[in-house]
Amino acid sequence: MKRAHVSGAGIGVTLALLFLIIVGGWRYDGFLSSYNILTVLRYNSMFALVSLGMCFVIMTGGIDLSVGSVAAMTSVVSAYLSPYGLLPGLLGGVAAGLCAGALSGFIIVKLRILPFIATLAVMLAASGVGLLLADNQSVAVSYDSSFTSLGQGSLLESFQPDWVGGDNANWLGTALSLFFNFPTPAWLALVAYVVATVLLNWRPFGRHVLAVGGGEEASRLMGLPTDRTVFLVYLMSGGLAGLAGVILASQFGAGQPIEGVGWELFAIASVVVGGTLLSGGRGSVLATLAGVMLLGLIFTILNFENGMGWISLSAYWQSVIRGAFLLVVVMLQSKLARPITA
Amino acid sequence: MSVDLKEMLIKPASSEETEGRQPRPSAAAWLSRYGAYLALALLVLFNLAFTPHFATMQTFSVNLAQICTIVIVGVGMTLVIATGGIDLSVGSLMAIAGAIAPGFFTGYYFPSAPPYLNIALSIAVPIAVAGLFGLFNGWLVAGFRIQPIIATLVLFIAGRGIAQVWTNGDLQVFKMPAFQAIALGHVLGVPLQIWIMLAVVILAAWVLRRTVFGRQVLAVGGNEAAARLSGVPVGRVKCLVYVASGLCSGVAGLIVIAMNSAADANLIGMGTELDAIAAVAVGGTLLSGGRATTTGTLVGALIIQLVRYTLLANGVPDSAALIAKAALIVIAVWLQRQERA
């Protein structure tokens, strides 16, 4: 019964996403062009990674406010390491994110402080560390190493045969060209989502996460490693935020200590739109991905709509529409969820 | 009669402002309750001894002006947190209030209205609008039983967008001494905004301590089910604290634009929600609800500001001060935890 409700929300958000894509493709020229699709995927992969970590945190009944400033901090760290190559930049950034996540986990598990406040403190601390390291400026990444290929490149680009693509390609050609030009950050996000789906559905860790979210005390009494599960979830969120920060630096060519403002709330919104309940205990990884894409597409659609010239909505409408969308989703959820609880 | 009965039912035993839990005679409990005041006293003493020019009117005014809007918003936040909720939308509501105000006193909305009326409207309407948005938050929380963090996330995201759409994202610059008096005017040598802040703190402290509504707020935060059973109108109480938080945000938004002689919807109140929550936490209000102190929120904001001021005055960069702030929050809440454990 309860699981049916979750997949219902997941199907709802997926249908809404498909509807948006179909309407966009029918209404706007170039909306389904490979250029547009790849741009949307490349840009939103950072948010997809951050939202994935948030999804796991929320499933345990917690919250992680630090993801945005952790990503900003790790973008600085990886920018400093970028002259040494792609791997040092990547590993350094992720390690910095893991440290921040471990700190959150430690404060929550050992000091028993509410996740909201613990991660608020880590948010401030990460932001302070990022600004200190960067001396309050952007840090340019090195273009001499391969570091920027992580955010700007496409993993399989060099394998693309000559006959793929071209101007008058049929659907198969377009699909193959999409495959070979699939952005590297989107591959990273895709792999992360596949691994997370496996973890959640087929590994003990996933069961523990849902059990802790359903009732921490009960899980503890059942002998589940609740503290370890909670710690690991924040560690994971920190690591994914770190990865997002590395992509940020690599994609925009600079470590930016003041970026990431509001990312945490965007991620929470994506998770909620994806139907994961904030009270914990239930959730879906793939619906979160649909939530990220849905909120991300609103911006793209707004651009295309303005391009048609019928209306002229400033970019500021984007947040109004996102907020309204979130409102509709939570109201629907509250209507759906009430018969179960009350 | 029924009011008295209710009050008896939910009246906690201690009669201080920090209600809801029996004090325990342990050092940790004492530190948790009065530690904020002790820390503030130590900070002031340290600065008197080591920071040059500390005991001047200018230092006093500068430091208080820095925390003014945080405290005003923090008072509303204290009431919300006392019911076990949270309000993330305060910064965005500040932006809305700040964005719509200039249109009144510059005569853009009503060119033919007399100036004094326009100035009165420029104060009353934005605050009322922010209060209405607060009512919307309360409606979502109480009517739809949506978790406060999500319910107020809606306006956190959409509210700033509304303010930006209203002004088209433009910076509005103005010079209007009669309006700006709310921030820049002086009474007895102290900026008027500081008087407003003190008035808000005292009014809320009085409400929490002396009125039935105040008792009901604490009762809802202490144990919602018990409060409902003893006849507290839980939905109405929850709704009203979000309205109060909205009104406080409106006042703070006006003070920000009056101080800056400019309204920038992109920046007004940015991050204020987290500063306010931090001040509430350091001040000793229980984040799970049921115990609240608005003077504590004022002290909490003062401590955070004084730590930053002390570090800056002694040559520590601002970014390092952020780390100190983080540590401060963790320590303060950890001490609270010790009392409850």
Q: What is the mean pLDDT of residues A211-225?
A: 84
Helices (H) and strands (E) in chain A, counts: 14, 2
Could you tell me the pLDDT band of residue B19, with boundaries at 50, 70 and 90? very low
Could you tell me which chain A residue has the CA closest to the CA of B148?
A: A278
Report pLDDT for B206: 93
Is A319 at the interface with chain B, CB within 8 A? yes
Q: Please, which pLDDT band fits residue A261 given cuts at 50, 70 and 90?
A: confident
- Residue B226, domain CATH: 1.10.3470
- The reply to whether B39 falls in a domain is no
Are B326 and A323 a contacting pair at CB < 8 A? no
Those of residues 242-301 in B touching chain A at CB distance below 8 A are: 270-271, 274, 277-278, 281, 287-288
pLDDT for residue B20: 47
The length of chain B, given as a count of residues: 341
Q: Return the SS3 of A139.
A: strand
pLDDT at A3 over 70: no
pLDDT for residue B184: 81
- Closest to B264 in 3D by CA, of B168, B192, B331, B200: B168
pLDDT at residue A311, as a whole number: 66
Give me the domain span that covers residue A139: 36-290
Within 170-229 of A, beta carbons closer than 8 Å to B belong to none
Task: State the pLDDT at residue A164.
Answer: 65
Q: Which residue has the tokens 């076990």?
A: B84
Q: Which residues of A6-30 are buried (b: 16+ CB within 10 A; e: fewer)?
A: beebbebbbebbeebbeebeeebee
Inter-chain contact B161–A316, Cβ cutoff 8 Å? Answer: yes
- The chain A residue lying nearest B169, using CA atoms, is A316
Highest mean pLDDT, choosing among A102-106, B104-108, B257-261: A102-106
In the prediction, which pLDDT does B16 show?
Answer: 43
Average pLDDT of span A220-233: 89
pLDDT at B149: 86
Residues 100-139 of B with CB under 8 A from A: none
The predicted pLDDT at position B130 comes to: 95
Residue B43 lies in a domain: no
The answer to whether A245 and A134 are in contact (CB under 8 A) is no
Alpha-carbon span A64 to A101, nearest angstrom: 9
State the pLDDT at residue B25: 56
Who's near B74: CB < 8 A, 6+ residues apart? B275, B276, B279, B280, B283, B297, B298, B300, B301
Place of tokens 């909505």: A313
B295 falls in which pLDDT band (50, 70, 90)? confident
CATH number at residue A283: 1.10.3470
User: Is residue A7's pLDDT more than 80?
Assistant: no
> Residue A340's pLDDT is what?
41
Q: Quick one: pLDDT at residue B238? A: 92
Q: Is B52 on the interface with A (CB under 8 A)?
A: no
Strand (E) or helix (H) holding B111: none
Rounded-to-integer distance, Cα B246 and Cα B115, Å: 27
Average pLDDT over residues B24-50: 76
What are the structure tokens assigned to B4, written together?
Answer: 């008295």
| CA–CA distance, B268 with A335 (Å, rounded to integer) | 34
Q: What is the mean pLDDT of residues B59-66?
A: 82
- SS3 category, B186: strand
For the record, the structure tokens of B98 come out as 């700040």
* 3-class state of residue A313 by DSSP: coil
Token pair 């101007």 is found at A167
Give the closest of A111, A272, A323 to B158, CB-based: A323
In a domain, B45, yes or no: no
Mean pLDDT of A150-167: 72
Do the chains contact at A269 and B165, CB–CB below 8 Å? Answer: no
Statement: residue B15 has pLDDT above 50: no
Domain assignment of residue A96, yes or no: yes
**pLDDT beyond 80 at A218:** yes
pLDDT at A231: 95
Query: Nearest CA of chain B to the CA of A322: how many Å?
Result: 7
pLDDT surpasses 70 at A185: yes
The Cα–Cα gap between B74 and B58 comes to 24
Nearest CA in chain B to A131: B319
Residues in B closer than 8 angstroms to A320, CB to CB, are 158, 161-162, 165
Say if B331 is an interface residue toward chain A (CB within 8 Å).
Answer: no
pLDDT (average), residues A22-36: 83
Q: Per residue in A189-201, pLDDT tens?
A: 999 999 999 998 8
Domain assignment present for A28:
no
Report the pLDDT averaged over residues B90-103: 92
Query: Cα(first)–Cα(last) distance of chain B, in Å?
Result: 38
* Cβ atoms within 10 Å, residue A67: 37
Torsions phi, psi for B264 (to 5 deg): -125, 105
Interface membership of A121 toward B (CB under 8 Å): yes
- Residue B131 pairs in a beta bridge with none
Segment A66-80 shows an average pLDDT of: 94
| Least confidently predicted of A22-31, A162-171, A316-325, B232-241 | A162-171
pLDDT at A83: 87
Q: Mean of the pLDDT values across residues B74-98?
A: 92
CA distance B213 to B233: 10
Considering only CB atoms, A129 lies closest to which of B146, B169, B323, namely B323
The count of domains in chain A is 1
pLDDT for the residue A149: 81
Question: Is A301 among the domain residues?
Answer: no
Tokens of B42: 């130590």
Residue among A63, A47, A84, A64 at smallest CA distance from A188: A47
Question: Residue A223 — pLDDT band, cuts 50, 70, 90?
Answer: confident
The verdict on residue B77 lying in a domain is yes
ipTM here: 0.80
Confidence of residue B60 (pLDDT cuts 50, 70, 90): confident
- Phi and psi at A28, nearest 5°, equal -115, 135
Phi and psi at B187, nearest 5°, equal -125, 125
Q: Count CB neighbours of B4 within 10 A.
A: 10
pLDDT of residue A217: 81
Q: Which domain holds residue B278?
A: 54-340
Instruction: Determine the longest span between alpha carbons in chain B, in angstroms.
Output: 66
B chain contacts of residue A334, beta-carbon cutoff 8 Å? 144-146
Q: Considering chain A, what percentage of its residues have pLDDT values greater than 90?
A: 31
Is residue B26 one of the residues assigned to a domain?
Answer: no
Better pLDDT: A106 or B309: A106
State the pLDDT confidence band at A1, using cuts at 50, 70 and 90.
very low
Chain position carrying tokens 């090195």 = A142
pLDDT greater than 60 at residue A290: yes
Asked whether residue A299 is domain-assigned, the answer is: no
User: pLDDT value at position B17?
Assistant: 43
Q: Which two tokens stand for residue B30?
A: 């004492």
pLDDT at position A339 is: 43
Q: pLDDT tens across B106-160, in order?
A: 878 887 878 788 888 888 999 999 999 999 999 999 988 888 888 898 898 889 8
Whether residue B15 is contained in a domain is answered as no
- What is the pLDDT confidence band of residue B1, given thresholds at 50, 70 and 90? very low
Surface of A (135-154) touching B: CB under 8 A: 136
Number of domains in chain B: 1
Q: What is the pLDDT of residue A45?
A: 92
Residue B143 has what pLDDT?
86
